[in-house]
Amino acid sequence: MYQPTNFIPTDLTINSWTDLKPYFDALISSEVNDSEALGQLILHYSETLSVFHEQNAWSYINMSRETTNQEYLDRHELFATKISPELEKAANVVEKMIVNHPSFSELPDARFGQLKKKLRRELELFREENVELSAEISKLSTQYDQLTGGLTVTLDGEEMPMPKASVKLQSSDRTTRKEAWLAISEKRYSIKEEADRIYNDMLKLRVQSAKNAGYDNYRDFSHDQHQRFDYTPQDAIDFQNAIEEHIVPLAKKIGESHRDKLGLAKDDYRPWDGAGEPEGQEALKPFKTGSELLEHAVNIFSEIHPQFGENLKAMKAADLFDLESRKGKAPGGYNYGLETTGMPFIFMNAAGTHRDVVTMCHEGGHAMHTFLTNDEPMIHYRDTPSEMAETASMSMELLTAELWNKFYDQKDHIRARREHLEGIISFFPWCATVDAFQHWVYLNPNHTFEERDAYFDELNGRFTSGLIKWDGYDHFRRNAWQRQLHIFGMPFYYVEYGIAQLGALQVYRLYKQDPEAALKGYIKGLSLGSSKPLPEVWEAMGIKFDFSAETLKELVEFVQQELNDLQD
């Protein structure tokens, strides 16, 4: 853990902007005569941001754990709509001061090169009038979380939250699956109008913020805002096309073999069958409680690297997990880094499924990243771009897979690993769909609801296997984009998962050849945070930052080989 100076107490309580303002005033009025003083200013600024980020994190974590707790909602809203906007404006003043200082360009590139790029980009994009707009968007995002987090369905007389109901989609009993699928789809569809309205309001605000910053469209603005220094929007489109060409065929094969296992005729493979288990085979049941899940995770992580296990234990001792699904919890799962604690919080909605095992290992990978960067004094470098963050987490899924026998007997273990790899393949087309959808949405911002659903359906045609017969339920298919929370709250944050998966597969391939080298590279790469450009970080990991068609093809062949080895 880095040693902060005494510029700002790390346990400062923030209840309003006035609690933080004096520190920003001090930063802004500090005398900076040389590059040494400039370096000091950067550190003090980083520490101030860290204190804010930690409490901002808690305001989000608490709200997501109890979306109906008014006190938490109020505090989250206070941070999102009152404190953050003020902070953004003050941060802009400090950043201008740093970037415009005569010594800034003299700071050595080896240490400050990435910071220079990041801060310059932030300044280029900053518009005071956008601060208000992002606060508005953030409010809408909370509305969407509340809208979806509160959804329940009643099955067999039991009212249950969506993640729990989704487990029934894996049942080997077709009637159970169908009932669950219909109940879930109808419930999701019942909020369509409201979700469409929220999305449209977000869209308008986003388009306006891009215009304010001098961009033609929000897509390009968002690309720059995500600080994607190492690839272009066109690269992302090429990636979508490569997925269509090289991955969709394998995904289709996986779908066909699933349909055959269910013993269904070609024209009888229905939307409620997609996740179903063959008769006589139940869904994998790896654990019952959250604490059981955690206990196995600690053992598995320890086996990969003793320190990894210690990290999870330290989090447990500090009460930094909320794992089980509960009514009123926000959907999804996340690892939220706590900047002054030096550890993260892991949130998820575990319901005892195999997917939860994967999520735990995934978030655990993010957590290791938080630990490995916590010696870095600059928050700007502890914060990593999603392409790298997701490489850390998805690699961990693959590295832990061989140890999932803690959850399963041998037969189920093979099945779990096979399903995981199949899931990776099936994910790419969805990733391309979500990304392509947003490219279209933001390049054609004046579309109607009808056109939007129709375009999404066109993408379904390109990227799904086309094996499922939807007759009578087409409206649910056309609306399926609404279940992807990223599309609402984190626009364009999705292609990263695809890019990162390519990184993770490379890490895994290396691990199979030379575990020690792969692990050493993993630790080295993660420790770099964002202090180096992505291609350099990946190089340190022993892999290539490349998502061209050739690389994709090569990795698909590797996965195909792995799948062949896992036939039972």
Query: Contact residues for Zn ion (CB under 5 A)?
Result: 393
Strand extents, DSSP E, 244-351: 321-324, 334-338, 343-350
Min separation Cβ 487 and Zn ion, Å:
16
Min separation Cβ 496 and Zn ion, Å:
9
Q: Of the two residues 177 and 354, which places its CB atom closer to Zn ion in the complex?
A: 354
What's the CA gap between 222 and 285, in Å, rounded? 40
Distance of CA 338 to the CA centre of its chain: 16
Kindly compute the dihedral angle of the four CA atoms of residues 317, 323, 327, 329, in this order, to the nearest 10 degrees: 80
What's the CA gap between 356 and 292, in Å, rounded? 12
Q: Of the two residues 262 and 367, which places its CB atom closer to Zn ion in the complex?
A: 367
Phi, psi of 471 (to 5 degrees): -30, 120
Q: Of the two residues 209 and 400, which places its CB atom closer to Zn ion in the complex?
A: 400
Burial tier of 155 (Cβ tally within 10 Å: 0-12, 13-18, 19+)? middle
Nearest residue to Zn ion by CB is 393
The helix (H) or strand (E) run that includes residue 161 is: strand 158-161
Min separation Cβ 69 and Zn ion, Å:
26
Question: What is the three-class DSSP state of 78?
Answer: helix
Q: Of the two residues 148 and 393, which places its CB atom closer to Zn ion in the complex?
A: 393
- For 162, residues 6+ apart whose C-beta sits below 8 A from its C-beta are 148, 151, 152, 153, 184, 187, 331
Q: Closest Cα to residue 351, out of 315, 373, 323?
A: 323
Q: Of the two residues 393 and 530, which places its CB atom closer to Zn ion in the complex?
A: 393
Q: Of the two residues 255 and 337, which places its CB atom closer to Zn ion in the complex?
A: 337
Q: Of the two residues 178 and 362, which places its CB atom closer to Zn ion in the complex?
A: 362
Min separation Cβ 368 and Zn ion, Å:
12
Min separation Cβ 426 and Zn ion, Å:
17
The helix (H) or strand (E) run that includes residue 223 is: helix 218-225
Min separation Cβ 333 and Zn ion, Å:
8
Q: Is residue 293 left, alpha or beta, with left meaning phi > 0 and alpha meaning psi from -120 to 50? A: alpha
Alpha helices in 78-216 (DSSP H): 84-99, 109-125, 128-149, 162-167, 174-190, 192-212
Q: Of the two residues 390 and 419, which places its CB atom closer to Zn ion in the complex?
A: 390
Q: Of the two residues 50 and 393, which places its CB atom closer to Zn ion in the complex?
A: 393
Min separation Cβ 393 and Zn ion, Å:
4
Report whether 247 contacts 552 (CB < 8 A).
yes
What's the CA gap between 348 and 360, in Å, rounded? 8
Report whether 347 contacts 62 (CB < 8 A).
no
What's the CA gap between 553 and 41, in Å, rounded? 48
Q: Of the two residues 64 and 393, which places its CB atom closer to Zn ion in the complex?
A: 393
Min separation Cβ 362 and Zn ion, Å:
6
Min separation Cβ 174 and Zn ion, Å:
33
Q: Of the two residues 347 and 481, which places its CB atom closer to Zn ion in the complex?
A: 347
Report whether 124 contacts 66 (CB < 8 A).
no
Min separation Cβ 489 and Zn ion, Å:
14
Min separation Cβ 476 and Zn ion, Å:
27
Compute the Cα dihedral for 137, 138, 140, 141 and give only its sign.
Answer: positive
